[in-house]
């Protein structure tokens, strides 16, 4: 209602309200951040008479207050603003607690000294070793480690990514080799990754593959003699013993030096067995004795 002083006052007695629901200040704050707020004027008024605020469609779509998406009550924007302020207050308090914890840890670090050196802060000692701390990252110009074990390793040259790589030394020549990746393919260059041309390329010339000698193999066929068949008075035929078949081996070496020689087996030439001599059996005729004539 409108007071005598011209102030609009909304009824807000607890006794006339019901269905109270607790809201999350953080959720309301996120919706406030999504609410478009612009400057505009009513069409029924002059363009010079402007106002600042959301339109009812956007407000109702986010907060679902009031009974229409074409009007906004005076109490709903106030309630949204108040709970948004609470969310900011909670966030600030949480941030303050985090900062206090970081301050305590920093004080503990700066109070640590290194034995054998003049009393000074840990950060000062690190800087004396050539280290720098930028946004919580410690940077060293060069570190020598006998053995290193890490869970995750990132290799990147922040100054020039084209010089990113790692150096490994050749076992035979002792020369450094830069190993890097380009378009997903591993490549190498002689020298350090900062100056890859520091080692003559002749050291890394690939050895030539010697041409293997050509071996010519000959085939030798061995034929064993066939035993003779001897005939006696008793017709007995001795079967010839078949000769053992030798297995000649032929090694064929192709002209190409990259292929493996192929071994082929050639069937041996075996002489046919000599035919058995014909044996004619000897038949002896025994004279037949005549029966005596009967007596007269």
What pLDDT score was predicted for residue 158?
75
The answer to whether residues 126 and 171 belong to one domain is: no
Q: How far apart are CA 142 and CA 155, in angstroms?
A: 14
pLDDT reading at 237 higher than 70: no
Q: How far apart are CA 26 and CA 258, in angstroms?
A: 73
The answer to whether residues 97 and 56 belong to one domain is: yes
Lowest mean pLDDT among 13-22, 32-41, 73-82, 259-268: 259-268
Domain that holds residue 38: 21-106
Q: How far apart are CA 289 and CA 14, in angstroms?
A: 165
Q: How far apart are CA 60 and CA 69, in angstroms?
A: 5
In a domain, 52, yes or no: yes
* 89-107 mean pLDDT: 79
Number of folded domains that form the chain: 3
Q: How far apart are CA 61 and CA 112, in angstroms?
A: 57
Pairing of strands 185-190, 176-182: antiparallel
**Directed axis angle between helix 56-63 and helix 75-110, to 10°?**
60
> Nearest-CA neighbor of 194 among 164, 168, 173?
164
In a domain, 61, yes or no: yes
In a domain, 172, yes or no: yes
Contacting residues for 185 by C-beta, under 8 A, at least 6 apart:
none
State the pTM of this model.
Answer: 0.37
* 227-235 mean pLDDT: 46
In a domain, 271, yes or no: no
> Nearest-CA neighbor of 217 among 263, 276, 171, 161?
263
């Amino acid at each position: 209602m409108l007071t005598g002083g011209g102030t609009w006052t909304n009824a807000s007695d607890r006794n006339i309200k019901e269905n109270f629901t607790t809201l999350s200040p953080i959720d309301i704050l996120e919706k406030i951040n999504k609410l478009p707020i612009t400057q505009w004027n009513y069409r029924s008024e002059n363009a010079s008479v402007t106002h600042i605020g959301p339109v009812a469609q956007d407000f109702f779509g986010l907060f679902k207050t009031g009974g229409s998406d074409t009007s906004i009550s005076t109490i709903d924007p106030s309630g949204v603003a108040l709970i948004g302020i609470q969310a900011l207050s909670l966030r600030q308090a949480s941030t303050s607690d985090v900062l206090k914890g970081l301050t305590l840890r920093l004080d503990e670090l700066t109070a640590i000294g290194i034995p054998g050196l003049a009393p000074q802060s840990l950060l000062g000692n690190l800087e004396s070793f050539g280290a720098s701390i930028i946004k919580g990252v410690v940077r060293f110009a060069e570190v020598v480690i006998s053995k290193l074990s890490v869970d995750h390793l990132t290799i990147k040259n922040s100054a020039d990514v084209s010089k990113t790589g790692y150096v490994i030394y050749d076992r035979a020549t002792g020369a450094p080799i830069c190993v890097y990746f380009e378009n997903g393919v591993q490549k190498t260059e002689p020298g350090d990754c900062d100056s890859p041309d520091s080692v003559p390329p002749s050291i890394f010339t690939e050895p030539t593959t010697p041409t293997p000698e050509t071996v010519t193999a000959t085939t030798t066929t061995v034929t064993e003699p066939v035993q003779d068949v001897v005939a006696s008075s008793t017709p007995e035929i001795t079967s010839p013993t078949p000769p053992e078949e030798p297995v000649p081996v032929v090694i064929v070496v192709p002209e190409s030096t990259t292929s493996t020689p192929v071994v082929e087996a050639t069937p041996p030439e075996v002489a046919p067995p000599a035919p058995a001599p014909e044996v004619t059996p000897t038949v002896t005729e025994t004279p037949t004795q005549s029966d005596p004539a009967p007596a007269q």
